[in-house]
Every structure is written in structure tokens, then in C-alpha cells.
Structure 1
Amino acid sequence: MSAGGAASGDRTAAASPPPDLGPPTTFVLLRHGATALTAHGRFSGSGAREDPPLADAGRAQAAAVATYLRGTPVDTVVSSPLRRCRETAAALGLPYAVEEDLRETDFGTWEGLTFTEARAQDPDAFAAWLAVPGAAPPGGESFADVAVRVAAARDRLLAAHRGRTVLLVSHVTPLKTLLRLALGAPHTALFRMDLAPASLSALAVWGDGNTTVRYLNNTAHLPPG
């Protein structure tokens, strides 16, 4: 082949369009509305003896997000099994499925405590939990454990709903974990994101596996206070 022919071939290859990845799978991430424990900043995970319902403020938040999302194309709603998420999902007025692996972290012996109380009770364990992904609260679940099950749930939902919009109703740690994984960020990113009760975030997963975060902690729909 002549030098000119090779150059022509290079130009042809360079001009080839990228492969058609099709529409992304969009995950809309909805944190549940507030409970009585939310207002006091207490650990409320899957290891708690009680499964608290939405407080009055949480029900108002769920109604507000339902109004905000009305008319938004959503193909599937999937909820954590915990009551506050199921009540938030029900307020949307759409059928929903339950995914066990979207449940909140098991906080072990820290369930019901504030951060300050947990730190005072187990200072060394608390420091390790903040610093090391594999460290867990006594009798509880580590961030690394949560990431494994949340990623597995994400992958199952991707396989079942590729190219569609899936609304996930879950909790702070699972939703932050999905966002962290999308960004390829370390576990310390969990402490650098704020997800308010009934806030909305979204990410898009493309056919080649690339993931983009579209927005984070949207609270424009929520009533004041």
C-alpha cells in the first residue's frame, strides 16, 4: 500500500462514527422522607429493633416529591424493604417492587444512637469505621459490605431494565454508595455528600459501562423547613 493509501485509510478510520450505545439506564435516587429518628440525627439502620414509619414531616415530603415527579417518565419503582421507604414509594402512586439489598446499613450496637453517642461509647471502633472501609460498628455492617450488596442490586437492575428509567427509594448510605461508585471515588466521599430526606439525585449508566452523575441532592420540591 502506498503512503497516500495508508493516510487515506487512517482518515477513514478516524472519521468512523462511535458505536451506538443506545439510551442510558437512568437511576433516579430518592431518599425516604423523614422519620422521628431522622430529625435527631440518630442511626436508624436495618439492624434496629424497630422499623420507624414516616413522621408527619416525612409524609408531607413524600407527597411533595410525588407531585414534583408527576409527569416524569418512570418505568419502574424499586424500594428498600424498610417501612419508611415503602411508605415513600407508596406515596408516588405507582406500583413498586422491593429490593432487599437497598436496605440501610446495619449499624449494630449503634442503632438509635447519635454520632456523638456512638463515638463516646466506642471511640476506637468509631474512628476505625470512619477511616477503614472494612471496619464495621460492633455487631454491624461495614461500608465495604454495603458496597458489595448495593453494587449487586445495581447490576441486577441494569440487566432487567437496560435503557429505562428506574426510581430507587432507599437510604443515605446505599444511595451515597451508588453515587460514589459512579464517580469512582473512595469511601471517604460518603462523608462529603449531603442527601436530605426526600431529596432526589440521578445517574446514568451507558451501554459501555460509563456512568455519569446528572444531579445531586435536589430539594427544590420540598416544603420549607
Structure 2
Amino acid sequence: MGITIFEDSYRHKGLRRKLIEELRRKGIRDERVLNAFDKVPRHLFMDSSFVEFAYQDKAFPIAAGQTISQPYTVAFMTELLNIKPLDKVFEVGTGSGYQTAILSELGAKVYTIERQKDLFQSCQHLLKMLGYNPLYFFGDGYLGKPSYAPYDKIIVTAGAPEIPKDLIAQLAIGGRMVIPIGTSDLQVMTTLDRISPTQVDIHEHGNFVFVPMLKGTNNR
């Protein structure tokens, strides 16, 4: 029966709690973020052949040559965002939809864009079945979605060579962007706080590795 793919067993829940303890040991302190991880069944966002590895703190491949990020990376970025209930959050790179679900659990109103057509289509059914209702867009994340701006928070889930100017323009005054900046081999996790129309405050938070942020769309 098709519904079995949405099974979330006691074993899965137990493995999630072990993952949460590992995230605590690695320095994640925001209990709201950890609670969101407890509620979102990561195994449902992965290919069934990887289900046994779903609650290891590792990244794994998904469709279109992309990855579902390491749980610690998702938690670290989410903690840096400092989500408040009803924050308007623009997510660049829907991917599997896992980060989207975590943001939604925190009470954010999520606007998410994906450039890979197959990922854009596949994640929507799962997120809906799990009760999440973000606004989805198929398009180029570099351009953002100005018609819905300004956003309280922006999160970019791919490595960018620089901070896209269009995204800065769509960030609300007082808002924050979290984005990995660097080459295709290594990026620096970066926060950008928009202090005024002309002033931003930028801080770095260590090295990470992401798939590259690409321009344009892929209709395959």
C-alpha cells in the first residue's frame, strides 16, 4: 500500500532522539530548533535505499545530482537564522524539502525556490502529506522573488561565489540572510544583517561544503 512510504515508526522516532543528542553534543543549543528536528521525519525525504542511514549526521545524495544536507549543517544554519513565529523566510534551494519542513515547524511562512524541475515537483507532494504548506517557485534563486519581498530571513542552501545583490535588496531592514560563500570546494558560512537600506553587517561562522549555487533553471 502506498501509505507505507509515510510510516514514522517508534524506531524512527528513537533514532531521531539519538540524532538530537548528537546535535546537542556538537553545539546546537536552541531547543526550538532541536524540537523541530524531533518532529520532522528525515527518512521520508531520502531515497528508500538510504533509509537505514537517515538519522546519521551525514549528507546523502538525492535526485538531480543534489544532496540532502548533513543534519548538523541544517541545524546550524537554522539556529543562525533565529526564526521567530510568522517570519517571512525565503529559501533558495528547496532540494528534498527537509530544510523547508524544519523552517515550517518553527512557525515561519516559507517561500521556497528550486531551479531543478524534478526536485521542484517531487517535494511538494511529500510536504503536503506531512502538513506543510510553503509557497513554491520554480526559478533562478539568484534573482529571488521580488514580488513577495521584503523577507525577514533568507537562507541559501547552496554554495555561492558571492552574496547575490538581488537577495540583499529583498531582505527587510532588520532582516538576516544565512548563506555559504566560497569556491566549489569550500565555503564559509556567512550571516548578513541588513541594518539600513545602505548598510549591512557581515559575519563568518566557519567552513562548510555545499553543492554549488547555479544560475538559470533546469527543466529536466
Range into which the TM-score falls when normalised by the shorter chain: 0.3 to 0.5
The structure with more helix, counted as a fraction of residues: 1
Q: Which has the larger radius of gyration?
A: 1
Q: How does the TM-score come out when normalised to structure 1? A: 0.35
User: Greater RCO between the two (CA within 8 Å, min separation 6)?
Assistant: 1
